[in-house]
Structure formats: structure tokens, C-alpha cells
Amino acid sequence: MANPAWQVWICGNCRRRVPAQLVECRCGGLKAHALGTIGPDSGADEGSPLWPRLFGAMGIGAVLAGSWLWFSRTPDAVRSAGPLVTFAPPTTFAAQPAAPRQMATPAPAAPAPTLAPGAWPPRSDPPPHAPAGGWPVVGATAPPAAPEPSAEATPPPTTVVSETDRVRQAGMQRLRSEFQAMKANAVSLISMDTLYVEGCRGQAQPPEHCANLINEINRMAVAVGAAIERTEDIARTSYLDPGVVRDMREQVGMEDPFWDELERVTREYRR
């Protein structure tokens, strides 16, 4: 007698193998609706559905039937190609006696022309070669020449501008406007920083003046720092090369030494 612990039943809903001691599968299928059971004495294929083997047998039968139809219809296809070409047997000709050969009688030579004393014989030179297109006809009108294509009628080539080029051109315009707007504040910030370092840190200016100056420097540093961040964002999102950005900055009067000092002052007073 087989041990029940080694028996499983196949669920009818999810095709899982469920131990024999369970009456319900995890999907909710009941043991009473099982497709079959598998035990230690049964083969691995017991309880498996019959339809895979049935479909396999039907597929093999369909292949065999198609092969039989193909080979049985091959003579019809050959006959539909047309009648076969037959060759007639060679015709045998009876030997006939050869006709007697006749000798051709040569034609009499034309008599040489009689020339007067001291006259030259007529020239037999070949005619000169005609020029390309034939000899010109006297009185004929030459055909009109084809009109040359006009330069105005030729349309100008169409320039295709990609989306990246449009974004880059718009970014260059925005960046140039941003540099021009921040130039005045940048110069004022550098001047106030120089005045504060020379006058207030050396205690040359009164404390009230230094307090107002440092407040103005802090406010200006925040504004200039925000403008610097906008220029960096425009250059990044517009796919602009660093060389293009540097040239555009120098065009408004902010060379590399000035720009480096501006970034240093901005970082110092924005903390």
C-alpha cells in the first residue's frame, strides 16, 4: 500500500500539485475537482491532460495530409505548364545529280579615255570629310539657341535648422541680455568691496558708515550671485560651449580676472 504522504493531486484550476492530505489548493480549487493523482507507483505522466498528445497527433496528421496533397498535385502543375515541345524527325533528301558548272564570261573592259596632247588626267581623289553636323546649307537659318537658365529663377537652397540649433540661438540671446543686465551691479559690488576692505577693516571709516556699507554689499552679493546662477543655467540648458560663453562675457567688459574676483566676492558675502 502506498504511503499517502507521497501522493499528490493535480488542481483543476491552476494545475498545481497539492499534497494528498489537503482538500483545497491555495487558489481555491477543491480536491473533488482534481484532474488526477500522482503517487510513488504511478508514472510522472499520470494525471497529465490528454490534449497536448492529441494536438501533437493531429499536427502530425495534418503534415502528412499536406505532403500527400502536394505530391499528388505535382503532375497537374506540370501539365498546366503547357504542352511538351516535340521535335520532328530529320528529313532525308534524295541525292540529285550536280548541275554542270558554267564558266562566267568576263565583261569587256571599258576603253581608256582619249586625252588631248598636254592635258592632265582627271583627279580621282576621295572627297573631303564633311564637318560634324554636315555641310552648311547656303541660305538656311540657324536654329535658335536654347535660353540660358536665369539666376533669379533658381530658388535659394533651403537651410534646415534643427531643434538644437534653435535652442542654442535663443540661449545665446538670453545669455547676452543677462550679462548686460548684471554688468552695472557687478562693478558696484567690486567697488564697494574694495572700499570696505580699505576703509572699514582698517578702522578708517566710522562704524555707522561701515555697517551701512556691509549691508549694501550683502544685498548686492545676493542679487549678483543669483544672476551668476542664471547665466550658468542658461549656458547648460542651451548647449553652449564654455568658449562661447567666455567670449560673450568679454564682449560686455567682464574679462576672466574681473569674473574671478566677482565670484570670490559673491561667495564671501552670501554666506
Global pTM reads 0.41
Q: What are phi and psi of 112, to 5 degrees?
A: -65, 140
Give me the count of residues in the chain.
271
C-alpha cell at 222: 545676493
Q: Give CA 232 to chain center in angstroms.
A: 33
What pLDDT does 46 receive? 46
pLDDT at 210 over 90: no
Statement: residue 92 has pLDDT above 80: no
Handedness of CA 47, 50, 56, 57 (dihedral sign): positive
pLDDT at 195: 87
Q: Which of 12-21, 51-60, 199-208, 239-248 has the lowest mean pLDDT?
A: 199-208
**Percent of the chain with pLDDT strictly greater than 70:** 59
Binned at pLDDT 50, 70 and 90, residue 28 comes out as: confident
Percent above pLDDT 90 for the chain: 30
Summarize the confidence of residues 80-103 as an average pLDDT: 55
Q: What's the chain's average pLDDT?
A: 76
* pLDDT on residue 259: 93
CA dist 206 and 251 (Å) reads 39
Q: Does the pLDDT of residue 44 top 50, yes or no?
A: no
